[in-house]
Chain A
Amino acid sequence: MKWTSLLGSSVIALCSAATFADDLTVASLGNLTLSYTQVKAVQQLPASPVPAFVTAEVGNTFYVTVPETIQQRHWLVAEGATVTAGQPLVLLQGAGIHHFYMQFDAAQEAFILAQSRYEHNRKLHANGTIGAEVWSQISMQYHDAKLTFEHMHHFMELLEEAPEQQGSLLKAPMAGVLRYGDASQPLADGGLLLGIVPEQDIRLQVSLPLSIAADTSAIDTGSCQLAVVRRDNVAKAGFVDAWSATVAPACHLTLGQQLQVTPLRQLQALQLPKQSVYSWGTANQVLRHQGDKLLPTTVTILAVDGDNYLIQSQPELQNSEVLSDSVAAAKGVLLGLGGE
């Protein structure tokens, strides 16, 4: 199509030379299909997707550690599941759990004994029968025994014997989302068995590009929108971490999940169809419909929302309509194309 190179190239020069195109009349567009779209004001602009993690804020997790080495753990509830307080979570088995019961009994007996001795000697100390040094020793032994017993008692409260299964069931201390401790190694005395994350503490941690971090007000996961409640003031490799409000169950997100989300920016903008925008030199323009005229108007694109562009708000475009059909042909008219 050699002939087109002649016209094509010459109009490009025209386009690059001119900053603003002249007005058009509607009549000058002949039989071209013309339709117009009302420009809409919008408050929120979607930005390009960014990575996010479903995570819990550090500090509110209820951690359960074991007082004795546990040989076997049989989980009754999947990690990440939401549990209620008192719900059996894990069957603990092995010699360690028997040792624990023995230790508990021993601790209980030691505590009763220490308590009895403490009560008995308190009167003696009160009437001066025993000296302060002896009383101090007895008191210390009593409190040690009490602390040891209470400590074991708290854990014991979570346990429920399961003789048929030759072990004990550990019950949830509170409602929340269950997280397993490290399952790859034997659980030694003092080791982390599990954690219960309060549901209200599960949030999205999102890495926002610096350029949009300040005005991002919400996050769209595809299934729900979450408000941004907190953001860091520390940049990490061009991103800033921000946290959403609590992830609702309706969002169908799983703790630890990594996903892409769309940041929603809080800006005043105008929405118009993509097909109404054409390039003119290095600018973008639309044809604003005014009476029998179409006025080229330069616009700045801020974001893309499906089949629409969100553009910077400008007074002359508010409540007006723009040409949204045959725009390329209208541009051709502006370029001087047309004819044989």
Chain B
Amino acid sequence: MLNGIIRFSLTQRLFMLITGLILAGAGSYAWLGIPLDAFPDISPTQVKIILKAPGMTAEEIESQVTVPVETELLGIPKQAILRSTTKYAITAITLDFNEGTDIYWARQQVSDRLAAVKDKLPANIEGGIAPMSTPLSEIFMFSLENPSMSLLERRQLLQWQIRPLLRTVPGVADVNILGGYAKTLQITPNPVAMAQAGISQDQLIARINANNVNTGAGRITLGTDNFTVRTEGRVGSIDALRNMVIISNANGTYRLQDLAEVEIGHLARYGAVTRNGSETTEALIVALKDSNTADVVKAVKQKLAQIEPTLPPGSKLNVFYDRANLISTAIGTISEALVEAVVLVIVLLALFLGNIRAALVVSLALPLAALSTFVLMRYFHLSANLMSLGGLVIAIGMLVDSSVVVVENMVNQLAGGQRLPRLHLIYRATKDVATPVVSGTVIVIIVFSPLLTLSGLEGKMFSPVAITIVFAMLSALLLALTIIPVVASYLVNEKAVEEPKFVHWLKHHYLQSLEWVLHHGKRFVTIAGVLLVMSFGLFALVGKTFMPTLDEGDIILQLAKSPSISLQSSLDLDTQIENHLLQTVPEIRQLVARTGADELGLDPMGLNETDVFLQLKPVAEWRFDTKEQLIEAIRAEVVKFPGIDFNFTQPIQMRVSEMLTGSIGDVAIKIFGDDLAALNRLAGQISDITSSTTGAQDVKMAMTEGSPFINLKLKDGLASRYGMDATAFGSYLKSQLEGVMVTEVIQGKKRTPVLIAHPNDNITSLVQLQQQVVQLPDATLKPLSELADISYQQGPIRIDREQGNRFAVVTTNVSGRDIVSFVEELKGKLASQLTLPSGFSLSFGGEFENQQRATNNLLLVVPVAIMLINLILFTTFGTISKALLILANVPFAMMGGIISLFLSGEYLSVPASVGFIALLGVAVLNGVVMVSYYEQSRHMFATLEERVKQGAARRLRPIMMTATTAMFGLIPLAFATGPGAEIQRPLAIVVIGGLITSTITTLYLLPLLYEVLEKRK
């Protein structure tokens, strides 16, 4: 089949050239259409349910909302894990599905189940399935600034003018509005007037609802026409609401304004936004899962440009987060590396081939393979991101290998002086190397195949790398057998066979040194062996981490204050820190801080929690060289504000951390059980045992035990005498504190909730609560202390659940020892020292889990890959000894990788492991090039020594070409800076280091061992 393809290509040269041009065009077109993002989507198929229960404690929500919903959801097939977090007034339930589950199917399943259980939930529950988003979905954020508008007006503008327009942008899942005040029409009943009119609060609500309605009455026929008849009752303004007649009796007609204050108010605030120390309002664009982020951001910006001139005078949309910046920087970093790699590879080819025409022909494989890869990426819906494009950069050096082999053989054939047609010679040259070229490519594909078996976070990150490499290698192979011979037939001439002086010089010195090695074999093997052993010793000294932290360019400073803090006090402290940072850290352009929960509840933070978004000036204006130094400077300022915990993170990193709930830290020990007190006690014991285990560092314990709350228990015997039951009492109190939604006033597209509520600072002490006058169902009045017992009680501030069970978690990092042995020791200690009550259980997770999963995957798949490579080598060379000889190169390649990691100070991480896997392929390929020539030239040299020396010298150029192109192709990545570079750098460093050692061993150790092997025959 291979011969047929080559023959067809060379007989249909014009067709192939046109095909090449079409391919280039298709690739360019595909590139323009590929979804662009900074990172691959690392989220599983996930459906999130956000349910709000205003005024309810965490424990109440858990029992009345979370548990019924979870019970219903647990029956859904294909689910991987069900988690929930319940806090004051909100519960977030997250259902992760198995890999590959269709998100729309998953959402439909959850929606059906939720609908089935919704009737069983308390009446005032709001919310449902959250927008279809991922941790990468928060793509654009801006604040609305206008000094002449109040926070309420600004929020109205965002909510009702800007948000609906932005939601029309394709790819926008939702627009989260934060900060300011959500406008309401607030009805504050006057209990005295109500009592005088003889109307209770429930009757008032019923009357408002009954009046605020338009109904369709039907139609009447008037002559030849039909007229629709409706009744009008709906109010459209606050004045109309005030004038609504509530009751009319012998005493007179009572309008709403006679019985209550009707004012413009706002919903109870669960969060706020500040900018540079002043309160403001913010909009956050949430992109749909699988949308093209770059396109969505672009469309959002276009829409905002249309909206801004229509806003009230003085309004300014202040953008402080734009994912497009990160995308362009990250893609720019990688694209720059790609271009530099291409240039370096072309220069190297020109240098080694010594012929610009041949170099150009080989180099042609690079852009064409890249463009073909883009076509395949688009076809398979693979987005262009740091990882997928990184894969292309990694492959650059290997992409030319097939073409190098083909073209080099071609020029050798052409120089042979055989009296055959030129095209026939080219055909023969291509055909001769087709099988080894295909074998080489298959070996590389097999080498990278283990990456496709990675699951979890590492799988999501590195699958695109492997897929892109496979796409690129297959494209390069096809090009090497089709278009490259055709172009070579036009461009390559006999002059190309002349060896450049540089290569000649290289070969001369190589032969001299090889001769020394062959004569001092034992010494060389001993030195190599010692270095190998030493390098494995170095392995223990290399730092280890799961995944390097990606630099997103931005900084988020997270603050956590006293858990029971009020919103205003929280904002006061935030403002102090914000103003201080603005004054002392000139690198900060602006600060936008979010305190508490957001509108959609995608991130249900407490009032004590603040995420301060630091928008930085360009690096050129910094006092520091690195972001780490800047963070250190910020840290030095933040510590001056004691009593507030802080943490540094980044926008995407923060969301990813939230996605991996409960697994922050190397090891997370989860204790499952129902009794909160027992959970906390066990968590304390486990924390102590963990701390006493060698290697434990930063041991933290999260408990579900909570803060005090005020409990009102109805004196039911007394209260029932007045017709007051618990529901009515709760509802009445809610109207005094949180507010009860009665109806809505619709003005055009604006819908304003109408609330029975009281001013925010209505009750600010327990004493006031006790003295509060309650209007009873019969409209009479009574002090609250007469109706209910009031006491302080303790309750959970937050309840975390997994698979329907409550849990507490202890996390720890591990330092100075292997995590697996640490976990084994800890398990043993817990088994002997901890007594778990009936119904309680433990589970181990955390990054350890990810590492172990990745290690287990690789430990299973890498040996299989090596066996397959061995099989291919055995098939190629016919003996197992030759195959093993080539594989002997692998440890020395690893040695270089380890040494380079140690010298560079990089950590051993998943990307570094991927680098070691890549090394496997390159090291084997180099060995194949060398050994295959020895086997081919078996009858060309008189003696074995001559064959070994001359063979090695003749393979010096291709080996150096493949090694240096792979190496120099990665140099731009090794030295790249900017967002995204840090994840590719360890990989590049490992491959470069490994290539140096493996090339040395291929050039010296392999001939030596081959000679020994042949002599034994």
Contact = CB atoms under 8 A, between A and B. Distances in A.
Contacts of A28: 642
B641 A30 contact: yes
A209 B785 contact: yes
A210 B641 CA distance: 47
A289 B657 CA distance: 42
A327 B657 CA distance: 31
B642 A9 contact: no
Contact of B706 (A12, A327, A333): A12
A223 interface: no
A33 B563 contact: no
12 contacts: A1-B611, A2-B661, A3-B647, A3-B664, A4-B608, A8-B797, A10-B702, A279-B564, A326-B643, A328-B565, A328-B572, A337-B645
Contacts of A332: 561-562, 642-645
B42 to A, nearest CB: 16
Given A329-B641, A329-B642, A338-B644, A304 B765 contact: yes
B811 interface: yes
B562 A11 contact: yes
B608 A8 contact: yes
A237 B780 contact: yes
B786 A282 contact: no
Interface in A20-67: 28-33, 47-52
Contacts of A328: 561-562, 565-566, 569-570, 572-573, 643
A9 B703 contact: yes
B773 A51 contact: yes
B767 A302 contact: yes
A325 B773 CA distance: 33
B752 interface: no
A53 B765 CA distance: 27
Interface string A5-21: 11111111101100000
A254 B700 CA distance: 66
Interface in B666-682: 680
B192 A258 contact: yes
B660 to A, nearest CB: 8
A1 B558 contact: yes
B702 A304 contact: no
Contacts of B658: 1-2
A80 interface: no
A189 to B, nearest CB: 27
Interface string B763-804: 011111011110000001111011000001010011010000
A30 B707 contact: no
Nearest to A325: B572
A3 B809 CA distance: 12
Given A2-B662, A332-B561, 8 more contacts: A29-B642, A30-B640, A49-B773, A239-B783, A282-B792, A301-B766, A328-B570, A329-B644
Interface in A317-340: 325-335, 337-340
B247 interface: no
A16 B576 CA distance: 28
Contacts of B563: 8-9, 11-12
Contacts of B643: 29, 32, 326, 328-335, 337-338
B966 to A, nearest CB: 41
Contact of A48 (B641, B700, B768): B768
Contacts of A32: 573, 576, 641-643
B664 A259 contact: no
B605 interface: yes
B642 A30 contact: yes
A3 B192 contact: no
Interface in A182-220: 207, 209-212
B573 A4 contact: no
Interface of A: 1-13, 15-16, 28-33, 47-52, 207, 209-212, 237-239, 258-260, 274-275, 278-279, 281-282, 301-304, 309, 325-335, 337-340
Nearest to B605: A1
Interface of B: 190-193, 195-196, 558, 560-566, 569-570, 572-573, 576, 580, 603, 605-606, 608-609, 611, 635, 639-648, 654, 657-658, 661-662, 664, 680, 700-708, 764-768, 770-773, 780-783, 785-786, 792, 794, 797-798, 800, 811
Nearest to B564: A279
Contacts of A337: 560-562, 643-645
Contacts of A325: 572
A274 B760 CA distance: 14
A210 B773 CA distance: 12
A329 B192 contact: no
Contacts of A260: 190-192
Nearest to A278: B562
A303 B662 CA distance: 44
A99 B764 CA distance: 67
Contacts of A211: 770-771, 783, 785
Nearest to A8: B563
A12 B561 contact: no
A335 B609 contact: no
B496 to A, nearest CB: 61
B772 to A, nearest CB: 6
Nearest to B659: A2
A48 B191 contact: no
Contacts of B664: 2-3
A38 B190 CA distance: 36
Contacts of B702: 5-6, 9-10
B558 A4 contact: yes
Given A31-B640, A32-B576, A6 B797 contact: no
A13 B702 CA distance: 11
A292 to B, nearest CB: 15
Nearest to A237: B782
A258 B196 contact: yes
A76 to B, nearest CB: 23
A10 B699 CA distance: 12
A26 to B, nearest CB: 12
Q: Give the most central of B570, B573, B639, B701: most A CB within 10 Å.
A: B573
A281 B708 contact: yes
Contacts of B195: 51, 258
A9 B705 contact: yes
B811 A6 contact: yes
Q: Which 3 A-B pairs have the closest CB atoms?
A: A332-B643, A48-B771, A282-B792
B703 A50 contact: no
Given A1-B605, A329-B573, A9 B706 contact: yes
B661 A301 contact: no
A8 B702 CA distance: 8
B59 to A, nearest CB: 14
B572 A326 contact: yes
B629 to A, nearest CB: 16
A12 B705 contact: yes
Nearest to A282: B792
A336 to B, nearest CB: 9
A207 B781 contact: yes
Nearest to A13: B705
Nearest to A238: B786
A340 B647 contact: yes
A6 B657 contact: no
Contacts of B708: 16, 279, 281-282
A3 B611 CA distance: 12
A259 B771 CA distance: 17
Contacts of A9: 563, 701-706, 797-798
A57 to B, nearest CB: 21
A6 B700 contact: yes
Nearest to B570: A328
Q: Give the most central of B611, B641, B664: most A CB within 10 Å.
A: B641
A326 B576 CA distance: 9
Nearest to B796: A9
Given A12-B707, A238-B782, A304-B764, A4 B645 contact: yes
Nearest to B702: A6
Contacts of B657: 2-3
Q: Give the most central of A10, A50, A52: most B CB within 10 Å.
A: A10
